Structure 1
Amino acid sequence: MNNPTEFLARFWGIDDASVTPMDGGMNSDTWLVEHEGSTYVAKAVSPEMAAALVAGGEVATTLAEAGFVTGPPVPTRDGRMVLTEPALALLAHVPGRELGGESDEEQGWIASTLAGVHSASSPTLGPNTATFALDWLSPQMPGVGDHQWLTAAIEAVRHETDPLTLTWSVLHTDPAPEAFIHNDTTGVTGLIDWTGARRGPVLYDVASAVMYLGGIEHASAFLNTYQSQGPLSADEMRHLEAFSRFREAVQGAYFAGRLASNDLTGGIEHADNEKGLSDARRRLGALGFAAS
């Protein structure tokens, strides 16, 4: 989609809006929408991700109703949370600044927000980890078979984590620092970009945040705050390194799939997908997986 203006008018009744392209990330296209003193974000994804956009909208709405700042979808005039043809959502804009996670203070804000989401979303034990993310982490996924080391890594991390029964809750699934928006006036940190949210082992989100913060050794402030405020016991947190390997394997499978289909969504280049795959392999090596 090059411009959502027609759909904003037809389905949300927003005419004559100022629509400006934004950096939507690797899986979507986004636009800043300004209309009659209100600000929104329009987000479009591929047809294959329409269900994930809907699921994420439902999670964001539920959490917003519970008091979290999530940038939930604005319903269409006929009451739909998002459109599915095309896959388009109009989201509430969250004012503030994206976090980078370099300082202990920012890592604390990230950890508190993520721990709050997990704790508020009915954390419960199980089911078995073997049921989680089969659509994200399998040797049969597109492109994976082109990389022998990645096939071996997926089999290894599945063997390591599948037997575990851990605490599950609602996951963001991609809590990079830039998804956390801090309002310096109110002191509140929001969490946006919920496409792909689902229930799963809480350690997956923790490992994802640690990955984006540069690894366990660079995420000590995040981990200290999360362990004091989140729903996981110290005994469960000892599996963090295993889930860090799991998360890197997911990253590898993601970029292998993008390379196989020449997916350049998000305005990136082929070399960026190659770098993403290479970085996942390198970080897996640092976590103890010897990629041959």
Structure 2
Amino acid sequence: MLHRFWGLRSPALKPLSGGMSSKTWLVEDGGLRFVAKKVLPTQIAELLAGCEVAAALADDGIITGRPVPTIDGRLTVREHGLALLEHVPGRELRGETDQEQRWMGATLACVHLAGHPGPGGTTATFLPDWLSPQLPGVATHPWLVQAIAVVRAETNPMTLSWSIIHSDPAPEAFVHDEDTGATGLIDWAGARRGPVLYDVASAVMYLGGPREASAFLEAYQGHGPLGPDELDRLDSFRRFRWAVQGAYFAWRPAGNNLVGIEDQLENQNGLDRARRGLEEVTLT
């Protein structure tokens, strides 16, 4: 497929680890490096949307792992759920040092500013299919159904700043090149327009909470589009984010989804972490 759709002559492929919703390979051909990404049929639309976002942000100077157009100009090969992306050099961040968190905060702020932030609709229109008791697998966990109801009641009336959001800015999605000092943000499948605070809450979730993420939050506040009034609602969106995490790990076993993991125990562990996360943010 790499030869047929992109004209690569003799690509060498190496499987890459990580990723809960796709399979990826490092591709080397003619001295050039790329990343091939293949998703499930149910996620092809998200892959295309993410490639469009990554291409637009790359045009604005943000390092995203820009999609490489096919010979006939497409950003993805929809019939195969496949995209070829520019390889972003550097190391994946872990967010364990203040410096790494500052790179993360500044980079995410640049993404949100480039996405033309402005007033959005109510939060009720955001992720209506994902944060829903009707999502397959959710109804079998009464605590999660209750959590979703509480989170929706709390956040649905909110009118917040919306922009292009990554939707899953985990530390490893940030790649820092020590030679150039540049930090990129990769893995854009799932990107969309939404409340900026959702991305901030996602990063804080992965970093362990506001105290552990203090350097990230300071850097983001110094560069980003959100004022104190919106950032004061961070805990509300931390609850929102943990509820989404719970719904995701309840949905995966319902479809016997084992992409990125070895067995269903890992899905259960993700669900348990989401429940503890909600409890830690004092869900009422």
Q: Which category of TM-score, normalised to the shorter sequence, fits these structures?
A: over 0.9
- Would you say 1:55 and 2:28 are equivalent positions? no
Structure 1, residues 165-184: CA drift from partner, whole Å, max 9, x if none?
00000000000000000000
Q: What is the match of residue 112 of structure 1?
A: 106
Report the AA paired with residue 41 of structure 2: P
Query: How far does residue 24 in structure 1 lie from its aligned partner after superposition?
Result: 4.2
State the partner residue of 2:29.
35
Match for 1:182 among 163, 176, 180?
A: 176
1:217-256 mapped onto 2 (5 Å cutoff): 217-256=211-250
* 1:64 counterpart = 2:38: no
| Unaligned runs of at least 5 residues, structure 2 | none
- 1:3 is matched with none
CA distance in 2, matches of 1:231, 1:221: 17
Report whether the alignment pairs 1:21 with 2:37. no
1:149 equivalent to 2:140? Answer no
2:87 alignment counterpart = 93
Q: 2:263 aligns with which of 260, 266, 269?
A: 269
Write the distance in 2 (CA, Å) between the matches of 1:55 and 1:250.
Answer: 20
SS in 1 for 2:257: coil
Find the counterpart in structure 2 of residue 127 from structure 1: 121
**1:26·1:268 contact (CA, 8 Å) conserved in 2?**
no
**Structure-2 separation of matches of 1:139 and 1:250:** 11
Equivalent in 187, 190, 193 of residue 193 of structure 1: 187
Query: Where does structure 1 differ by over 3 angstroms across 4 or more consecutive aligned residues?
Result: none
CA RMSD of aligned residues (A): 0.8
Q: Is the CA contact (8 Å cut-off) linking 1:150 and 1:252 kept in structure 2?
A: yes
Please report the TM-score for the alignment, with normalisation by the length of structure 1. Answer: 0.96
Mapped partners of 1:77, 1:126: distance in 2: 37
TM-score, scaled relative to structure 2: 0.99
- How many angstroms does 1:128 deviate by? 1.0
Per-residue deviation, residues 4-30 of structure 1 (Å, max 9, x unmatched): xxx101111113211111114110000
Which ranges in structure 1 are unaligned for 5 or more consecutive residues?
1-6
Q: Which amino acid aligns with 1:228?
A: G
Distance 1:250 1:44 in 2: 23
Distance 1:271 1:210, change over 3 A: same
Q: CA deviation at 1:144?
A: 0.2
Decide whether the 8 Å contact of 1:63 with 1:117 is kept in 2.
yes
Tell me the SS of whatever aligns to 2:175. Answer: strand
Once the two structures are overlaid, the 10-residue window that deviates more, 15-24 or 147-156, is 15-24
Residue 280 (1) aligns with residue 278 (2): no
Number of equivalent positions = 284
Rounded to whole Å, the distance in 1 between the matches of 2:50 and 2:141 is: 31
> Could you tell me the percent identity over the aligned residues?
59
